[in-house]
C-alpha cells in the first residue's frame, strides 16, 4: 500500500534495521533460541541466545529470553541478573524489573521485592509498580497493608480514575471484600465492571459475592 502511494517503505521493513552481517546472523540465531525455548530446551536456548549476544551485544530480547529460561528452571538469581542487564532507558526496563520483583517475592524475598517496586515508582513515577506492591501484600493475605497501598495509588491518579486502571479497582474491591468492607468493595467492583463489562474475573467475583449475601440474585 505504501509503494502504491509512492511512500517511503524503509521504515516498514525490518531488514532496514540490520546494520551489519553480524546483526542479521544474530537475529537468525535468536530465532533458533526462541524455538528451543518453546520446546522447553532451556539450556540449549540459553546457548543460542548467548551466541546471538556475542554477535550483537545490545540485543535486549536475548537477555529477556535467557532470563525467562533461568526463571523457568528456578534459577532465580541468574534470571534477575539477566533482567538487570536491561538499560534503564529501555522501553522494556519497567517490564523486566517487574519480573525481577516477582522472582524476588516468589523466592521469599518479599522485602526486597517491595523495595524494588517502590524504587521504580519513586524514580519512574510508575503507578503500576505501586499497584504491584499492593498485589504482593494481598498475595500474602496482608489485606490491611494491601488496601493502604491501593488507596495511596488511587490518590496519585486522576479523578475520576482513567479506564486503563480498572485493575486497581478490581484488586482494591477484592481486598475490601476480604476486610468485610462490602459497600466499598461493591462500588469498586461495579466500577471495574463498568470499564470491563465482559471481564470474567470481575463478573465471577462480584457474582459470587452477591450470591453469598443472597442479594441481586438474578443479576448475580
In this predicted model, what pLDDT tens digit does every residue of 127-166 receive, in sequence order? 999 999 999 999 999 999 999 999 999 999 998 899 999 9
**Half-sphere exposure in the Cβ direction for 132 (13 Å, CA):** 25
Instruction: Indicate whether 114 pLDDT > 70.
Output: yes
Cα–Cα separations (whole angstroms), residue 85 to 49, 63, 123, 148, 195: 14, 7, 18, 33, 36
Q: Dmax over Cα atoms in the chain, in whole Å? A: 68
Residues of the chain with pLDDT > 70, as a percent, come to: 98
**pLDDT of 11:** 74
Please classify residue 185 by burial: count the beta carbons closer than 10 Å to its beta carbon, then call 0-12 exposed, 13-18 middle and 19+ buried.
Answer: buried
Mean pLDDT, residues 71-93: 96
Pick the range with the lowest mean pLDDT from 19-28, 57-66, 166-175: 19-28
Q: Is 154 left (phi over 0), alpha (psi -120 to 50) or beta?
A: alpha
> Which of 45, 51, 18, 19 lies closest to 32, judged by CA?
45
Q: Please, which pLDDT band fits residue 3 given cuts at 50, 70 and 90?
A: confident
Q: Please, which pLDDT band fits residue 15 given cuts at 50, 70 and 90?
A: low
Q: If you search the block for the grid coordinates 533482567, which residue do you land on?
A: 83
**pLDDT of 1:** 84
Three-state secondary-structure class, residue 189 = helix
Residues 6+ apart with CB under 8 A from 149: 130, 131, 133, 134, 137
Amino acid at each position: 500500500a505504501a509503494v502504491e502511494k509512492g511512500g517511503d517503505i524503509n521504515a516498514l521493513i525490518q531488514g532496514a534495521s540490520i546494520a551489519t552481517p553480524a546483526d542479521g546472523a544474530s537475529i537468525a540465531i535468536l530465532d533458533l533460541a526462541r524455538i528451543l525455548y518453546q520446546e522447553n530446551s532451556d539450556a540449549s536456548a540459553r546457548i543460542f541466545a548467548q551466541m546471538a549476544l556475542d554477535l550483537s551485544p545490545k540485543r535486549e530480547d536475548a537477555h529477556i529470553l535467557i532470563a525467562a529460561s533461568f526463571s523457568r528452571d528456578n534459577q532465580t538469581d541468574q534470571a534477575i541478573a539477566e533482567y538487570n542487564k536491561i538499560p534503564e532507558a529501555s522501553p522494556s526496563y519497567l517490564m523486566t524489573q517487574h519480573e525481577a520483583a516477582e522472582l524476588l517475592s516468589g523466592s521469599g524475598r518479599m522485602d526486597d521485592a517491595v523495595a524494588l517496586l517502590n524504587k521504580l515508582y519513586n524514580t519512574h513515577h510508575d503507578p503500576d509498580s505501586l499497584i504491584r506492591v499492593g498485589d504482593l501484600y494481598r498475595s500474602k493475605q496482608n489485606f490491611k497493608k494491601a488496601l493502604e497501598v491501593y488507596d495511596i495509588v488511587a490518590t496519585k491518579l486522576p479523578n475520576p480514575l482513567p479506564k486503563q486502571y480498572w485493575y486497581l479497582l478490581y484488586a482494591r474491591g477484592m481486598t475490601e471484600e476480604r476486610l468485610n468492607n462490602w459497600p466499598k468493595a461493591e462500588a469498586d467492583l461495579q466500577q471495574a465492571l463498568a470499564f470491563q463489562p465482559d471481564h470474567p474475573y470481575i463478573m465471577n467475583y462480584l457474582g459470587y459475592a452477591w450470591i453469598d449475601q443472597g442479594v441481586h440474585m438474578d443479576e448475580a
